[in-house]
Amino acid sequence: MKRLIFLGLLLLPLVGCSGSGAVNPLTPANASKVDASDNPDSDVIYWSNFPLETPVTDTINAICLVNKKLGWAVGNNGLIMQYDGQTWNKIQTGLAQNQNFMAVGFLNETEGWAVGTQGTILHYNNGQWTQDTSPTQEVLYSITITASRTVWVVGSNGAILTYNGISWGTVYANGGTAAAPTTVADIYSIGLSDQNSGWAVGNLGLILKYDGQKWTTFTASPTTERLNSVSVLSDVQAWAVGAYGTILNFNGTTWNKQGSAFSGFDLYTISMIDDSNGWLAGQDGTIAFYDGTRWISHVKPDTKPSLNAIAFYKDLGFMVGQNGTFIKFQKGGVPAKFDITFKGAVTEKPSKVHPYWTLTYTLLNQSPKTTAFLDFVMPVPKGFEPYQPKATPTPSVGQTNGAAAATVVTVTPTVIAAATVSTPSTKVVAQVSSPVSGTWMMKDGNLLWELGIITSSESKIITILLVSKKGEKKEYPVVLNASLKTVDQAVADAAPVTMLVSEPKPVFSPTVTTLPTATTTPSH
């Protein structure tokens, strides 16, 4: 499972961010009454309330982060807000105050667009907002922008608009024309993987495919539910979410419906970072994270506001929604609670065969929930350094070098530790060690090793090797203090492990002195 702290935008030749169009969240009439996210899979909090210096009460429908010091959010009643790297501030444009803005997208720091009800299009250029002439009166729900400054916007009644750098024009799906437009349902979201490939989704399970020339209906949609948001990773991978917890995945050939624990709630937005990282959100504060294999439900915000849009710029992330809600992404997460046993011991002292100290740490997550991403942190004592044994070939089958085989150490060039993962029922059962993926590093005198998230009842065994450092005097007693941390916050400390109480005294072999043999002079 990948570490959430490394979330960042995929480097696509596209810019801009899209809103979901969820102005009036629907309450599913036939939905399940069970809310899986009221009992989240993880007690780790990655999203928390972000209070504004000047609160707003209007619903926020879309958000875009240009960089870490500039972002835009739009909402109902002409609301436009700007992020300055510290907080979000309301911007007075004097334009379209009675319209609801549904989406916002920016090409760069100096140019962007906001779109909304009654075909409203605002254009931002070098610090100034102006209103563009729009070819439609339809509600415009979503926007995406290519690196070549081509802008696409979609909306109600199958509206598809494009901006060629000078003016806005209308594009018709399925070969339609202005004189004979084809009938297409409302389109709520659009996403492109490049300038010649993309998807749009909408009402009644509508999926449209863009091939660089035209938009056509993908007839094999696996659902008839409303699809509110699409996130496109590449021309062979995309995701979409919608009403009644609908989650779809495109695998390069077909769209497939995924199992969902959120059938009681509409999902309004999805943002995939890569094929193993992504977030979705929706009705009543529903939030979930994709770890590459499954969607993990997240703790809901306290007031359970409906969440309409997600935006990331590298590790900076925000969600926005009902009643002026802003929640911010926290790298690595903050643990709500943990129940971890963590202890260490010296398991082998230096010898002629192994010229290093072997230290073994064990941990077990006794909580019923998954932890945040954990780091193993241990200050390396003065006079010591991590030891990397040379890889020794494993004896081939049939070799009878028993003594040598028993001391073989096989490691990868960068690994100084090995871990064992087991899933005990009532107590930890020792298993054969296997190398842990990833690498360790030294930082500020600490040995830092990324362990990842630890699932419920999961145990790990970590072996650390230390050797005396030449030319550096030791300080006695030599005591090791290891801890497990997340976002620099300690979640478990192992009891101190004493390696040496005092400097070992040299052991001298006794010197045997041979005294001269007494000579007896015989008497006469």
What secondary structure does DSSP assign to 386-445, as a single string? E--PPP-PPPPTT---HHHHTT-----TT---EEEEE--SSS------EEPSS-EEEETT
Residues 237 and 137 in one domain: yes
Q: With respect to residue 26, please indicate whether it lies within any of the assigned structural domains.
A: yes
pLDDT, one tens digit for every residue, the chain (524 residues): 344 433 433 334 455 555 555 544 433 333 443 454 456 777 678 998 999 989 999 999 999 999 999 999 999 999 999 999 999 999 999 999 999 999 999 999 999 999 999 999 999 999 999 999 999 999 999 999 988 889 999 999 999 999 988 999 999 999 999 999 998 999 999 999 998 999 999 999 999 999 999 999 999 999 999 999 999 999 999 999 999 999 999 999 999 999 888 888 999 999 999 998 999 999 999 999 998 889 989 989 888 999 999 999 999 999 999 999 999 998 877 766 667 889 999 999 998 888 899 999 999 888 777 888 888 999 999 999 998 776 544 444 444 443 333 223 333 333 344 333 333 333 333 333 334 455 778 989 999 988 888 888 888 888 899 999 988 999 999 999 999 988 777 888 888 999 998 887 765 555 555 555 544 455 54
Residues 460 and 321 in one domain: no
- Tokens describing residue 482: 């290891």
- Phi and psi dihedrals of 6, rounded to 5? -95, 15
| Distance, C-alpha 85 to centroid of its chain | 21
Q: Among residues 335, 354, 381, which one ends one of the domains?
A: 335
Q: With respect to residue 521, please indicate whether it lies within any of the assigned structural domains.
A: no
Measure the CA–CA gap between 122 and 115, rounded to whole angstroms. 6
Q: What is the pLDDT of residue 491?
A: 83
Measure the CA–CA gap between 15 and 152, rounded to whole angstroms. 11
8-state DSSP, 252: S
Residues 136 and 197 in one domain: yes
Measure the CA–CA gap between 343 and 460, rounded to whole angstroms. 11
Residues 309 and 383 in one domain: no
Residues 263 and 373 in one domain: no
- Tokens describing residue 401: 């070098």
What type of residue is 208? L
Q: With respect to residue 524, please indicate whether it lies within any of the assigned structural domains.
A: no
Which segments within 38-79 are labelled E, that is strand?
44-49, 60-67, 70-75
Residues 300 and 381 in one domain: no
Q: What is the pLDDT of residue 18?
A: 52
Q: With respect to residue 186, please indicate whether it lies within any of the assigned structural domains.
A: yes
Residues 6+ apart with CB under 8 A from 27: 283
Residues 113 and 254 in one domain: yes
Q: With respect to residue 329, please indicate whether it lies within any of the assigned structural domains.
A: yes
Residue ranges making up the domain that contains 476: 340-390+410-500
Residues 6+ apart with CB under 8 A from 258: 247, 248, 249, 295
Q: What is the pLDDT of residue 416?
A: 41
Secondary structure of 397-410 in HEC code, one letter for each residue: CCCCCHHHHCCCCC
- Tokens describing residue 221: 């949609």
Q: Among residues 335, 361, 379, which one ends one of the domains?
A: 335
Binning the chain into helix, strand and coil, the percentages to the nearest 5 are: 5, 45, 50
Measure the CA–CA gap between 229 and 28, rounded to whole angstroms. 17
Measure the CA–CA gap between 93 and 34, rounded to whole angstroms. 43
Q: What is the pLDDT of residue 338?
A: 67
Residue 445: give its domain's CATH number.
2.60.40.1290
Which segments within 132-206 are labelled E, that is strand?
140-146, 151-155, 160-163, 168-171, 187-194, 197-202
Measure the CA–CA gap between 86 and 168, rounded to whole angstroms. 35
Residue 234: give its domain's CATH number.
2.130.10.10
Residues 206 and 113 in one domain: yes
Residues 327 and 373 in one domain: no
Residues 346 and 431 in one domain: yes
Contact 482, 376 (CB under 8 A): yes
Q: With respect to residue 514, please indicate whether it lies within any of the assigned structural domains.
A: no
Of residues 328, 286, 292, the one with CA closest to residue 308: 286
CA torsion, points 384, 390, 391, 396, in degrees to nearest 10? Answer: -120
Q: What is the pLDDT of residue 506?
A: 63
Residues 256 and 344 in one domain: no
8-state DSSP, 370: B
Residues 144 and 281 in one domain: yes
Q: With respect to residue 230, please indicate whether it lies within any of the assigned structural domains.
A: yes
Q: What is the pLDDT of residue 492?
A: 85
| Structural domain count, the chain | 2
Of residues 333, 340, 298, the one with CA closest to residue 491: 340
Q: What is the pLDDT of residue 374?
A: 87
Q: With respect to residue 369, please indicate whether it lies within any of the assigned structural domains.
A: yes
Q: What is the pLDDT of residue 446?
A: 93
pTM for the full model? 0.66
